[in-house]
């Protein structure tokens, strides 16, 4: 299942990484760079997560 990271832009989320660690915070979507060297990602509390790093994610209040 491909996660559409943009759906979580500027939302409070609970993210579970593939290593099992859970993070909560305000997510900012970062588009892939102009030369496509860096894929799109979410920044959460100064940590960067690519789609393949995310096991599950949900929007929280």
Q: How confident is the model at residue 3 (pLDDT cuts 50, 70, 90)?
A: confident
What does the alpha-carbon distance between residue 13 and residue 33 come to, in Å, rounded to a whole number? 24
The domains of the chain are located at 1-27
Of 8 and 33, more confident: 8
- pLDDT per residue over 12-49, tens digit each? 999 999 999 999 999 999 988 755 677 889 999 899 99
pLDDT at 7: 96
pLDDT of residue 2: 77
């Amino acid at each position: 299942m491909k996660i559409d990271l943009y759906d979580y832009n500027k939302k409070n989320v609970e993210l579970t990484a593939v290593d099992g660690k859970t993070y909560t915070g305000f997510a900012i979507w970062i588009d892939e760079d102009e030369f496509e060297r860096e894929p799109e990602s979410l920044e959460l509390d100064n940590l960067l997560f690519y789609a393949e790093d995310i096991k599950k994610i949900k929007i929280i209040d």
